[in-house]
A and B are shown apart, each in its own frame.
Chain A
C-alpha cells in the first residue's frame, strides 16, 4: 500500500473471521494526520467491526493495525496495536464513540467526562482516602478541565444532569465529549448523527470541524448520512461485504460506479 501523506493509522490486510463469516476481508487503509476521513458502506458491510478491531474490542484474525502519534513522516516508528486491550489502545491515543449510545447513564454528565480523564490522573485508593493536597488539586483540575470540554460541545448547561435524562442529540455529543476527554490524537466516531434531526446534524458537522481545527484531533467517522459525509470528510473509504471497494475524495466516490452499485444495486 502506498501511503500518500503523513499517516497516523495504517491498517494492512486486516481480516476478521467470525466462524464461517469473513466480516472483514483483507482491508488495507490509512488515515492521514489532521484529516477527517469517513468509512461508509451499506448495513452489515463491516464498518463497526473495523472500529472494534482498531479499538481492541476484537483481536483481528489476520493483518496489522499500526499507529504513530505524530505521523510516519516525522520519522516515528509505527506501533502495532492489534490484539491489545481496549484500555491500552485508548491510552495510546485512540478514542471512540459507539453506534448504540453507551454512556454511563446513571452518572452525571460531568462525571461522564471526568471518567474520560481517568488516565490523566494518578490518585489511587490511598490518595482517595487520605485526600492529600495533591489529590485535592488534581480533583479540582479534572472538574475544571471536564467543564471546559463540556463547554466546547455546548453541554455545560447539563453538568449535573443524569446522562440518561439528556435529549438524544446531547447524549451523542456527550459521547464525543467523553472520548475527547481521554486526550486522543485520533477520534473514531461511529454514526455520530444517527437519529438526529437536520438541525442537530448541521450543528454536529460544525462541532466535528471545530474538534479537528482547534483540538488538532484527526477524525475517522462511520456515517450513513451522506450529506454529512460529503460535507465534512476529505477522504472516504467505501466498504461492502467486508471488502474495500473504493477510496477517494467525496467527488470521486459520488461518481464511482462500484459504490453506486453497492448502494443502489444493479
Chain B
C-alpha cells in the first residue's frame, strides 16, 4: 500500500518534469541571436536533461514535504526529535532564573553592540531596529485589528517628512537664533507621532466600511498618494531630490562626530524599541486590545457585543500610524537625508512580510521577522541578486508549513482557584 502511494507520487513528479521541460523550452532551450538583422535560433538541447532531472527531484521533494506536513500534527504528538527539542526549550525557559539570565545576556549584548562591532554594523542595526518599530506598529493594525494595510510606509514617510520639513523651514531660524539644531529631533519625535496619528485617523475615515481586499487596495492607494504628493510638490518638500543635511539629535550641547552620533542614535532607537514593545504588550492585554482582536475575528459579532467598530478602527489606524511616525523621525536622523523613494510600496510590503513570517499578532514574531528580513540581506550581500526569489520562497514555505509564523503568539492563560466556602468562586491571576 505504502509503496503504491509513493509510486503514484513518482509518476506525478515525472509528469511535472515533462510539463516543466515543455514549459521552459522557449526560455531555456531556445536562444535567439540577432546577427546582422537576421534572427539565428540555436537550440541548447544539453539543458533538457538538467531541467528534467531537477524539476523531477524538486517536484518529488515538494510532494513529500506536503505529505509530511499533513502528518506532522500526529508526529508532534509522538516523541520526535523536534518535539523533544521544543519541549526542552519550553521547560528551559519556564525556569525564572534561566529566563532572567538569558534576558540579561541579551540586554548586555544589545547595549554593548556598538562597542563590540564597528560603525557599519551599528548603522545596520539601527535600520533593523527602525524596522522592528515599524513591524510592531503594523502588527497592531494587521495582527490585532485584522485590517490589512498596504500603505503603511506612508505613515513612515509622514514621520520622516515632519522632521525633514521642520528642519527645512524652522531650522534656519534655529541657526540664526544660535540654538542647537539638534533640538529639532526631540521636537519632531512627539510631533511626528501626533501628525502621523492624525494621518492615521484621516485614512481610517474613508475605509471604515471596508475590509479585506477593498481595504488593502485603498490603503495601497493611500500609500502611493502620499509618496506622489511628496514627490510632486517640489517647492515644499524638495520633490524627488528630497531634503538633505538633516541634523542629528542633540546631546547636551556636544558636537558629535558621525561615529558618536551613530552610537547615540543606536541607543535612542533601542529605547524606542523597548518603549514600543512595552506599549504594544500593555495594549494587547487590555480591554482595548481584546476589542481589536474581536474585530479581527468577526466584525458582526464584535458589533453585536456592543463594541463600536468605528472607534475601534480609528484606534487601530491611529496607533499603528503613531509608531510609524516615530520610526520615520529616527530614519531621517540616521540617514540625514530623505526622499520619497525610501517610502515605496515595497517598504510597506517588506514590513507586512516581516510580520507574516514572524507570526501575525505576535510581538516576538514581529521583532524576529523584522530583524530577519533586514539583517539577512545585509550580511548575505552576494545573494542580493536573488533577494526577491528568496523572500518569495521563504514566504511560501512559512505559509504552508508554519502558517502562524515562526514565533507565533502564545495566548495568555488564566488560572482559577476554587473557593470552597462561596458559590461565587474565582480567584484569578496570571
- Which residues of A are interface residues toward B (Cβ below 8 A)? 55, 57, 85-87, 90-91, 95-96, 98, 102-108, 110-111, 114-116, 118-119, 121, 123-125, 127-129, 131, 135, 138-140, 142-144, 147-148, 151, 156, 159-160, 162, 178-179, 182
Whether the pair A90, B305 counts as a contact (CB closer than 8 A) is yes
- Tell me if B's interface is mostly helix, strand, loop or mixed: helix
- CB-CB nearest in chain A for B309: A87
Given A107-B411, A125-B288, are A140 and B428 also a contact pair (CB < 8 Å)?
Answer: yes
Distance, CA A91 to CA B287, complexed state (A)? 16
- CB-CB nearest in chain A for B416: A147
- Minimum CB–CB distance from B411 to chain A (whole Å) comes to 6
Whether the pair A104, B424 counts as a contact (CB closer than 8 A) is no
One of B287, B300, B304, B309 near A121 (C-beta < 8 A): B287
B302: interface (CB < 8 Å): yes
One of A90, A140, A147 near B306 (C-beta < 8 A): A90
What is the count of residue pairs linking A and B with beta-carbon distances less than 8 angstroms?
A: 128
Whether the pair B306, A87 counts as a contact (CB closer than 8 A) is yes
- CB-CB nearest in chain B for A156: B416
Whether the pair A148, B315 counts as a contact (CB closer than 8 A) is no
In chain B, positions 408-424 with a C-beta closer than 8 Å to chain A are: 411-414, 416, 424
Whether the pair B301, A102 counts as a contact (CB closer than 8 A) is yes
- Minimum CB–CB distance from B363 to chain A (whole Å) comes to 15
B289: interface (CB < 8 Å): yes
Residue among B297, B319, B424 having the largest count of chain A Cβ atoms under 10 Å: B297
Whether the pair A98, B301 counts as a contact (CB closer than 8 A) is yes
Distance, CA A219 to CA B300, complexed state (A)? 21
- Tell me if A's interface is mostly helix, strand, loop or mixed: helix
Collect the chain B residues with CB atoms within 8 Å of residue A162's CB.
Answer: 411
Collect the chain B residues with CB atoms within 8 Å of residue A128's CB.
Answer: 282-283, 286-289
Whether the pair B282, A104 counts as a contact (CB closer than 8 A) is no
In chain B, positions 280-319 with a C-beta closer than 8 Å to chain A are: 282-283, 286-291, 293-294, 297-298, 300-309, 315, 319
One of A114, A121, A160 near B411 (C-beta < 8 A): A160
Collect the chain A residues with CB atoms within 8 Å of residue B304's CB.
Answer: 55, 57, 86-87, 90, 95-96, 98, 102
Q: How large is the interface on B (under 10, 10 to 19, 20 to 34, 35 or more residues)?
A: 35 or more
Distance, CA A103 to CA B297, complexed state (A)? 8
Collect the chain B residues with CB atoms within 8 Å of residue A105's CB.
Answer: 297-298
Collect the chain B residues with CB atoms within 8 Å of residue A159's CB.
Answer: 414, 416
Whether the pair B294, A104 counts as a contact (CB closer than 8 A) is yes
Collect the chain A residues with CB atoms within 8 Å of residue B426's CB.
Answer: 143-144, 147-148, 151
- Minimum CB–CB distance from A90 to chain B (whole Å) comes to 4
Collect the chain A residues with CB atoms within 8 Å of residue B302's CB.
Answer: 104, 115
B279: interface (CB < 8 Å): yes
Distance, CA A71 to CA B305, complexed state (A)? 23
What are 8 A-B pairs with beta-carbon distances under 8 A? A85-B308, A87-B305, A105-B298, A115-B291, A119-B307, A127-B286, A128-B287, A142-B287
Given A102-B300, A114-B290, A115-B302, are A125 and B283 also a contact pair (CB < 8 Å)?
Answer: yes
Residue among A55, A98, A128, A159 having the largest count of chain B Cβ atoms under 10 Å: A128
Whether the pair A107, B297 counts as a contact (CB closer than 8 A) is yes
Given A110-B414, A115-B294, A159-B414, are A129 and B307 also a contact pair (CB < 8 Å)?
Answer: no
Kindly list 14 other residue pairs between chains A and B, CB separation below 8 angstroms, not including A115-B290, A118-B307, A128-B283: A85-B308, A87-B308, A106-B297, A111-B411, A115-B302, A115-B307, A116-B306, A125-B319, A128-B286, A131-B282, A142-B287, A143-B414, A159-B414, A179-B305
Whether the pair A104, B279 counts as a contact (CB closer than 8 A) is no
Whether the pair B286, A107 counts as a contact (CB closer than 8 A) is no
- CB-CB nearest in chain B for A112: B294
B88: interface (CB < 8 Å): no
